[in-house]
Chains A and B, each alone.
Chain A
Amino acid sequence: MSDVNTMQIEFTLNGTPTKVDVAPMDRLLDTLRYALGLTGSKEGCGEGECGACTVYLDGVPVNACLVPTFQVRGCHVETIESIPHESLDAMLTSGATQCGACTPGVVMTACWLNRHPELSKTHSVRELMAGNLCRCTGYDGIIDGIECEQRTKSSTL
């Protein structure tokens, strides 16, 4: 069913071509959670501060609460559901999670910077993680987990 207030958007979601009907200013976060059933991305603040809704848009982290869904037409979107479970090992070992509300977003940004070691030439881990707020554990466990993962990777290269 289509009406004048919806539009069909085509994009690639976690590697799969996807079509979805959305209202013109639906937020990507709502489309993912309520139209496509991917509830891994969380809504924390709804204003681009907390990063709980972090997804990759064409490979770069964005806040899904601040992206109108129509702007992802033709793009690649990746969500926490696309992240392999073993990517979480270092975070679990370092105690980087407690209540879990921030964790999907934290893991998305952490995996992104681990995939881009070149960023360490210009940026600290803390600066790159600044868009993911955690109100439970503090940040040391998160940073430890990321640095542990980076050490493991560089030693196996």
Chain B
Amino acid sequence: MLAGDSSLIPIAGATDVLVHWPGNLEAKTRSYLDLSGLGELRSMQWADDTFTIGALTTYWDVICNEQCAQAFPLLINAARQVGSVQIQSRGTWAGNIINASPAADGVPVLMAYDATVVMQSCEGIEEIPLDEFYFGYKQMRRRTDQLVVAIRMPRRAHDVEIFEKVGARRAQAISKIGLAITHSQDGWRIVASAVAPTILRCKAIETLLEEGSPVRSPDDLMAAIAKDVSPIDDIRSSRLYRERVLARILYHDLKGIVPSFV
């Protein structure tokens, strides 16, 4: 169906599309493709080297999964900070990716675990690393005939796993700044949200960590942060606040873990 009509919008839990629905006249002119009948997409599959979640898997599905809590604790940590139980029970990880909010909470932790987006079309299956999936605000490498069917993560041993969310209050808040950090034998992954048009890896910070450059205060991170992110002033926060707080969280999270942070 997607191949025949490029205007169709696939919907899963509908928690984004139905917000303020009665007055959203523009949204009512669009056509939607309901995925909720595709039960096989609500799944979690463990292979020796990968963990794959189907596109209809909800936050609550993951929160309730004990194996996930052991192997991918940041997924649980972030999922519990998405909205409330009422949202966690409907919202899906794939929907979080495709809604493409720069302030999404699920995307940073997926990206910090090197997730890939698995898409299917009549042409076949394509798998794109999540950290290469976005190329601008709400712009992503999904053709309109492709459906996201799964998200896949490599199973690795991590010795650092951190997720931070800064919001106006602890519950039910959209992030002012989000940060996911992992470290494994494949290196550092520093992923920031709400500080750029897309959620992204902070490559300059990652390089600084790999090289072991000494960091004596949050100020020592500002040059790298300026290379990585481009926050804006908006209703939730300011550019200056976002840059400063990102530096402070990074510094205080990594001090005591990374020898070069003194």
- A60/B80 contact (C-beta < 8 A), A27-B21, A49-B172 known: no
Q: Is B258 an interface residue (CB 8 A)?
A: no
A60 near B89 with CB under 8 A, answer yes
A131 near B84 with CB under 8 A, answer yes
- B27 — nearest CB in chain A belongs to which residue? A25
Q: Select one of B11, B32, B86 contacting A61, CB under 8 A.
A: B86
Complex CA gap A86/B30 in Å reads: 45
- A131/B86 contact (C-beta < 8 A), A25-B28, A25-B32, A49-B172 known: yes
A131 near B19 with CB under 8 A, answer no
Q: Select one of B20, B170, B172 contacting A131, CB under 8 A.
A: B172
Complex CA gap A46/B234 in Å reads: 23
Q: Select one of B19, B28, B34, B85 contacting A66, CB under 8 A.
A: B19
Minimum CB–CB distance from A67 to chain B (whole Å) comes to 7
Which residue, A49, A109, A133, has most C-beta atoms of chain B within 10 A?
A: A49
Majority secondary structure of chain B interface residues (helix, strand, loop or mixed): loop
Minimum CB–CB distance from A20 to chain B (whole Å) comes to 17
Complex CA gap A132/B89 in Å reads: 14
Neighbouring A residues of B162 by C-beta, 8 Å: none
Give the bracket for the number of chain A residues in contact with chain B: 20 to 34
Neighbouring B residues of A48 by C-beta, 8 Å: 15, 18-19, 83, 86-87
- B-facing residues in A49-85 (Cβ within 8 Å): 49, 51, 54, 57, 60-63, 65-68, 70-71
Q: Is B90 an interface residue (CB 8 A)?
A: yes
Q: Is A47 an interface residue (CB 8 A)?
A: yes
B60 near A60 with CB under 8 A, answer yes
Minimum CB–CB distance from B248 to chain A (whole Å) comes to 25
Q: Is A128 an interface residue (CB 8 A)?
A: yes
Neighbouring B residues of A109 by C-beta, 8 Å: 85-86
Number of B residues near A (Cβ < 8 Å) is: 25
Minimum CB–CB distance from A114 to chain B (whole Å) comes to 14
Q: Select one of B28, B87, B170 contacting A63, CB under 8 A.
A: B87
- A109 — nearest CB in chain B belongs to which residue? B85
Minimum CB–CB distance from A104 to chain B (whole Å) comes to 13
Q: Select one of A27, A49, A68, A127 contacting B34, CB under 8 A.
A: A68
Neighbouring A residues of B34 by C-beta, 8 Å: 68, 70-71
Neighbouring A residues of B84 by C-beta, 8 Å: 51, 130-132
Q: Is B41 an interface residue (CB 8 A)?
A: no
B89 near A68 with CB under 8 A, answer no
Neighbouring B residues of A63 by C-beta, 8 Å: 15, 86-87, 90
- A55 — nearest CB in chain B belongs to which residue? B86
B22 near A46 with CB under 8 A, answer yes
Complex CA gap A71/B32 in Å reads: 13
Q: Select one of B11, B36, B172 contacting A130, CB under 8 A.
A: B172
- A51/B21 contact (C-beta < 8 A), A25-B28, A71-B14 known: no
Q: Select one of B14, B19, B60, B85 contacting A67, CB under 8 A.
A: B14
Q: Is B171 an interface residue (CB 8 A)?
A: yes
Minimum CB–CB distance from B65 to chain A (whole Å) comes to 12
Complex CA gap A127/B15 in Å reads: 20
- A46/B20 contact (C-beta < 8 A), A54-B86, A71-B36, A109-B85 known: yes
Minimum CB–CB distance from B131 to chain A (whole Å) comes to 29
Complex CA gap A49/B20 in Å reads: 11
Neighbouring B residues of A57 by C-beta, 8 Å: 89-90
Complex CA gap A42/B34 in Å reads: 26
- B12 — nearest CB in chain A belongs to which residue? A71
5 A-B residue contacts at CB 8 Å? Answer: A25-B18, A54-B86, A66-B90, A67-B18, A130-B172
A residues sitting closer than 8 Å to B (CB atoms) are 24-25, 27, 46-49, 51, 54, 57, 60-63, 65-68, 70-71, 109, 123, 127-128, 130-133
B residues sitting closer than 8 Å to A (CB atoms) are 11, 13-15, 18-22, 28, 32, 34, 36, 60, 80, 83-87, 89-90, 170-172
